[in-house]
Amino acid sequence: MLSGLNKEQLEGVKHIDGPCLVLAGAGSGKTKVLTTRIAYLIEQGIRDNNILAITFTNKAAKEMRDRLNILVPNNQVFVGTFHSFGLKIIRENVKLLDLAPNFTIIDADDALSLIKKIMKNLNYDVKEVSPYFIRNKISFIKNELLTEADIAKFFNTAPEMQAVNVYHEYQKMLKKNNSVDFDDLLALPVNLLKNNKEVLEKEQEHYKYILIDEYQDTNEVQYKMSKLLGAKYKNIFIVGDMNQSIYRFRGANFRNILNFEKDYKEPRVILLEQNYRSTKNILDAANSVIKNNKERKDLELYSNLGEGVKVKYMRSYDEKHEITLIVEEIRKLLDMGYKEEDIAIFYRTNAQSRNVEEILLKNNLPYKVVGSYYFYERKEIKNLLCYLRLINNPHDDISLRRVINVPKRKIGNKSVDNLEEIAKKKMYQCLKL
């Protein structure tokens, strides 16, 4: 199990009790350290169901789980994302959270549809204040765990005040529909852990050993969750690199990793600086950029894979000129004997793929776009899921509105509004009785 680990990786794997910060550069084998450490803990007699391993994406969680199952088959370690762990806590405490067991989780599109409906009811002009702006503000309130006093203090402009009003109506609608949104999967469990000592102690006793990957990408609510869970035994093992923090737009705070040594007295600090993925030239270029960061921990990546090809840097005038330069580079590589399947183009967001595809088509260059359209985002799949949600939760008006006219039944928005008004009157009459 420990074969093939370098000195620093071995130090991380064999760390058992107390807080530990592993600063792991890109390609330094951090997933190997995490999975091997879990297996090592179990080998040392720690019960597998007392171990919690958190990462940021379902894909990363699956990879970690697969690797761990090779080392320790049929283990009971919880390996998942912050959101999947939060959902687990919600399901175990539905009564305390005033939810029915068959609650629905609405996605970002359904949340936006609900916000638009509320704005219409409040006579807010979507052209003056964007529903996307309001959705982002609602997400901010939940991810920053803002109280009503905080909201009153920080939300002062007219658009922000509209967002607050929509937020309150939005919360009422979620409750009425026995639904939660994606942000609630973190906010609800953290508030429960903060306010219910019995639940907090139960979770702390359950998960005595906590491992968190990509700690530089934690936001306020994720930071609070990890701090609450690790407060009793302090067996918290975090892996990250503030130089790889790219999710500030989602509320990630790389300072969480910088503050770890303040949060936990005298933690062990381990540096994983050997890169197994790239050559020296690439790492030298990366180090020369990273060294300009003002707030950072010293981490100097190195490689034993040789000098490698020099990094080529090009500056373009705009996005179209950029793709033209890329095509010229591809032509040179093809002339050198490389094949199309040897070449990859990476871009930051899916929106950038359009310009890339247009130029490649014009130049008769074959290509394959990977991962640009997600299965669960397809219209027909979302409609099917809404039908399944309605079967499970008949109170889910959000899903009903989406599929009430799928397939076409000649039911317009006016008819739906009228039905809703009738339902409200009936409900009011029942409550009076």
Which 3 state secondary structure label does DSSP give 305?
A: coil
Residues contacting 374, CB < 8 A, separation 6+: none
Q: How far apart are CA 13 and CA 15, in angstroms?
A: 6
Please, are residues 188 and 97 in contact by the beta-carbon 8 Å criterion? yes
pTM score, whole prediction: 0.80
Q: What is the CATH number of domain 104-177?
A: 1.10.10
pLDDT value for 43: 96
What tens digit of pLDDT does each residue of 324-337 get?
999 999 999 999 99
> What average pLDDT does the segment 262-268 reach?
88
pLDDT at residue number 237: 96
**Residue 416: predicted pLDDT:** 79
Distance from C-alpha of 324 to C-alpha of 311, rounded to nearest angstrom:
19
Question: Residue 377: pLDDT band by 50, 70, 90 thresholds?
Answer: low
State how beta strands 268-272 and 236-240 pair: unpaired
Please give the mean pLDDT across all residues of the chain. Answer: 89
Mean pLDDT of 242-268: 77
Give 23-62 pLDDT, tens digit per residue. Answer: 988 889 989 999 999 999 999 999 999 999 999 889 889 9
Of the listed ranges 19-23, 30-34, 419-423, the one predicted with least confidence? 419-423
Q: What is the mean pLDDT of residues 123-149?
A: 94
- Type and span of the H or E element at 269: strand 268-272
CATH 3.40.50.300 fits 7-89+191-273, yes or no: yes
Tokens coding 383: 């409609």
Three-state secondary structure string covering 356-373: HHHHHHHCCCCCCCCCCC
Residue range 341-359: average pLDDT?
86
Q: 94-111, pLDDT tens digit by residue?
A: 999 999 999 999 988 899
Average pLDDT, stretch 132-159? 94
pLDDT digits (tens, 9 = 90+) for 218-232: 989 999 999 999 999
Spatial separation of the C-alpha atoms in residues 186 and 102, rounded to whole Å? 18
pLDDT at 373 over 60: no
Under the phi-then-psi rule, with left for phi > 0, alpha for psi from -120 to 50, and beta for the rest, what region is 24?
A: beta
Count other C-beta atoms under 10 Å from residue 216's C-beta.
22
- The domain spans of the chain are 7-89+191-273, 104-177, 319-362, 375-432
Strand pairing class (78-81; 51-55): parallel
pLDDT score recorded for residue 432: 62
Most confident of the ranges 56-60, 196-200, 273-277, 409-413: 196-200
pLDDT score for 368: 87
pLDDT at 92 over 90: yes
pLDDT digits (tens, 9 = 90+) for 270-301: 999 999 999 999 999 888 888 877 766 677 88
Closest CA to 83 of 194, 244, 272, 218: 218
